[in-house]
Amino acid sequence: MNARHANPDPCILVIFGASGDLTHRKLIPALYELSRGNGGRARLPERLAILGVSRTPMSDDQFRDKLRGSAKAHAAGFDEASWSAFARCIHYHAGDAASPESYPALADRLARLGAEHRLAMPTGGANLLFYLSVSPNLYVPIIGSLGESGLIAEGKRWCSIDPSATPWQRIIVEKPFGTDLGSAQSLNMALGRVFEEDAIYRIDHYLGKELVQNILVMRFANSIFEPIWNRSSIDHVQVTAAETLGVGSRAANFYDTAGAMRDMVQSHLLEVLALVAIEPPSVFDADASHREKIKLFNSARSIEPASAHESAVFGRYARGKPDEPAYVEEAGVDPARRTETYCAMRVEFDNWRWAGVPFYLRSGKRLAKKLTEVVVQFRRPPVNLFREVDGVGEMGANRLIINIAPTEGLELHVLGKVPGAGLRIDAANLNLDYIDRFGGEKVEAYGPLILDAMRGDRSLYKHRDQIEGTWRICQPLLESATLRERIEDYATGSWGPRGAEALLARDGRAWHNPA
């Protein structure tokens, strides 16, 4: 059976970094939501244990108490009865996950939990899903310690007589996945020494968002889009992720060494772009869609570091209202690093479908509006039959907007005749709001993604070559001294630096900046 349709396997989910922010704000609330049935047909396995691991000493009950507060604050809906039922599967183990000496005790605890929750498989212990929710500098030590622990036998599973009776071990790796191409390659090698590629789940919570997944459904479950989804009909594509908030306290321990390019463009926006631009996979499974994404990224026209400033713009927010410091005034920021809080770039793909069609990506903080969207801008009709009609020449060509957040839907901009005597033409929108149309509650993206890992479906996770492909596209920009020297300040509440407008204006185009 295709992994996508399988039930999630019974397993122990081992979260390294159990006392941290991600576990409290996202992972546990998302799993609790699923346990309450918020995910529709997506349900947790009937037999499941969650083991939180971090160094802070805590009992199971103390850990559950803390998580209860987090679930109450962050889950969509909370009630004591469903929490108590869910919390029974949660346990805690104090230990230094980066040290191999901690693993005999961890292995012992896992064996006991397997027995307690009836999770042991016929030919061994329980299925184990490890989640690296720790600082990235701990990824390699933890992966190495897992390798030495004897807990990982996944490589022998595929060739065992009955793989379904043999326990699996999988690992979910959080972002950031490397800080450049070289470090991503090293991390891939460290993972590859311990886990088979199909046991590695490089997570991108963006790919868990409903509307991101819906891009493929829109393109390939309908027959009207594909014939026009190419260079003949499409002028260009824009992918925007804009935030209104500043960096705040994240500057010191993360953002100032990362910046918008690494934080958003490499890790999320290129992945969203891939869904818009890939060829139809031959089947709807992880391997086929990974292959198409890798092919797409490999066809990106290379950018030379020496001319990268012609394909990209970096900016950082200036001082705003009295309580809004400029980026360089935020606590923990080293102004000499010239970290960008805004990045815009132009990418082209040298393949038959997209030759000559630019893809523009941008992401920034303290911008005019919080939104994530894809804009597919179509070409004008070859002949303007209505050129005599006032204003038609200035009206835009058709445009499809895929709203990913905060609204989830599609908008198709078309031109229509205004009712009444005479010929007056105006722009109109055909709107589809997914929540209005299909109902259902919004579900935190992490929950369904973790379920996918439990059922062995990597479609929404990233393949090794996919990650390296996106780093290869971004690397010249990271290496460009000119781009960083020319970083521009932009006003808070604006749509970013002037250079970003100029990047498109040079091509005779403009950003779609919703009011």
Ligand X SMILES: NC(=O)c1ccc[n+]([C@@H]2O[C@H](COP(=O)([O-])OP(=O)(O)OC[C@H]3O[C@@H](n4cnc5c(N)ncnc54)[C@H](OP(=O)(O)O)[C@@H]3O)[C@@H](O)[C@H]2O)c1
User: In the set 11, 12, 19, 167, which binds ligand X (CB under 6 A)?
Assistant: 19
Closest to ligand X by CB, 164 vs 253, is 253
Among 2, 7, 56, 384, binds ligand X (CB under 6 A): 56
Residues 6+ apart with CB under 8 A from 196: 154, 155, 158
Collapsing DSSP states into helix, strand and coil, what is residue 53? strand
Interaction between residue 361 and ligand X (CB under 6 A): no
Residue 43 or 55 with smaller CB distance to ligand X? 55
141/493 with CB nearer ligand X: 141
268 catalytically annotated: yes
- Of the candidate spans 2-10, 92-100, 185-193, 364-372, the one that interacts with ligand X by CB under 6 A turns out to be 92-100
Q: Which is nearer to ligand X, 21 or 390 (CB)?
A: 21
Binding of ligand X by 59 (CB under 6 A)? no
Using alpha carbons, select from 271, 304, 295 the residue that is nearest to residue 350.
Answer: 295
Q: Does 206 bind ligand X (CB under 6 A)?
A: no
DSSP secondary structure of 400-469: EEEEEESS-EEEEEEEEEPSSSS--EEEEEEEEEHHHHH------THHHHHHHHHHT--TTSB-HHHHHH
**Would you report the helix, strand and coil content of the chain in percent, each value rounded to 5?**
40, 20, 40
From 13-21, 294-302, 340-348, 433-441, span contacting ligand X (CB under 6 A): 13-21
Maximum alpha-carbon separation in the chain? 84
Burial label, 179 (beta-carbon count in 10 A; 0-12, 13-18, 19+) = middle
Peptide bond into 176 cis (omega under 30): yes
- The residue among 134 and 374 lying less far from ligand X, judged by its C-beta, is 134
Residue 51 Cβ vs ligand X, minimum distance, rounded to whole Å: 12
Q: How far is the CB of 293 from ligand X (least distance, A)?
A: 21
CB of 150 vs ligand X, minimal distance in Å? 19
Interface residue with ligand X, options 2, 6, 7, 21 (CB under 6 A): 21
Q: Counting contacts by CB under 6 A, is residue 145 touching ligand X?
A: no
- Write each residue from 115 to 134 as x if it is in contact with ligand X (CB under 6 A), else as -, in one continuous string: ------------------xx
96 contacts ligand X (rule: CB under 6 A): yes
- Catalytic pick among 91, 93, 268, 309: 268
The pairing of strands 371-378 and 90-94 is unpaired
Q: Indicate which single residue of 9, 39, 49, 54 sits in contact with ligand X (rule: CB under 6 A).
A: 54
In the window 149-178, what residues touch ligand X (CB under 6 A)? 174-176
- 27 near ligand X, judged by CB under 6 A: no
Give first-to-last CA distance, the chain, whole Å: 47
152 with 194: CB under 8 angstroms? yes
DSSP labels for 331-393? TT--GGG---SEEEEEE-B-STTTTT--EEEEEESSBSS-EEEEEEEEPPPSS-TTTTSTTGG
Catalytic machinery residues:
268
Q: Give the binding site for ligand X (CB under 6 A).
A: 16-22, 26, 53-56, 96-98, 133-136, 138, 174-176
